[in-house]
């Protein structure tokens, strides 16, 4: 990855606030994000789970869904277990499916694809349709 997911998460959450995506849950989300960012261990894990629950209630909140992807990477680094890698890969798939067509060749789409590759790599999955695999593939006569 060529970006910092923690910084990207903060930027995405700020955009979600600016766009009014969080609605009446905004203060609860801000409080949970603060606990996630400041606390460690069980408190951070509970805040992470709470943020994911909010995400389930806000599936069309593009910037908030982007935020959830980035904090899932942070959760992976804090607690490296397959469940978090799977959650991250699933969030990326849903994000690309839902919003990818409107993003063009944006930095956001590039970052989500990069982090998606990292989540899949952590699960031992590889996507051989990606261009970098095509570049490394043997061609006739090799």
pLDDT (tens digit, 9 = 90+) per residue, 71-83? 999 999 999 999 9
Range of the domain at 96: 5-136
Name the stretches of the chain with pLDDT < 50.
128-142
Distance CA 118, CA 138 (A): 24
Taking the CA of residue 17 as centre, how many other CA atoms within 13 Å lie in the half-sphere pointing to its CB? 12
141 is a domain residue: no
Whole-number pLDDT of residue 127 = 59
CA dihedral 38, 3, 66, 30 (to 10 degrees): 20
85 is a domain residue: yes
104 is a domain residue: yes
142 is a domain residue: no
Structural domains counted in the chain: 1
CB 30 within 8 A of CB 36: no
Whole-number pLDDT of residue 26 = 98
Output the CA–CA distances (angstroms, integers) from residue 83 to 2, 80, 140, in the order listed. Answer: 24, 9, 40
Distance CA 64, CA 58 (A): 8
67 is a domain residue: yes
Whole-number pLDDT of residue 102 = 86
């Amino acid at each position: 990855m060529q970006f910092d997911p923690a910084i990207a998460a903060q930027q995405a959450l700020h955009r979600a606030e600016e766009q009014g995506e969080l609605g009446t849950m905004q203060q609860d989300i801000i409080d949970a994000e603060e606990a996630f960012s400041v606390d460690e261990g069980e408190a951070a894990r509970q805040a992470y789970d709470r943020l994911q629950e909010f995400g389930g209630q806000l599936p069309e909140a593009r910037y908030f869904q982007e935020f959830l992807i980035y904090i899932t990477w942070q959760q992976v680094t804090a607690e490296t277990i397959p469940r978090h890698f799977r959650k991250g890969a699933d969030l990326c798939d849903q994000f690309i499916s839902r919003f990818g067509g409107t993003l063009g060749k944006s930095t956001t789409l590039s970052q989500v694809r990069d982090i998606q590759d990292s989540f899949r790599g952590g699960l031992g999955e590889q996507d051989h349709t990606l261009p970098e695999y095509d570049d490394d593939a043997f061609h006739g006569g090799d």
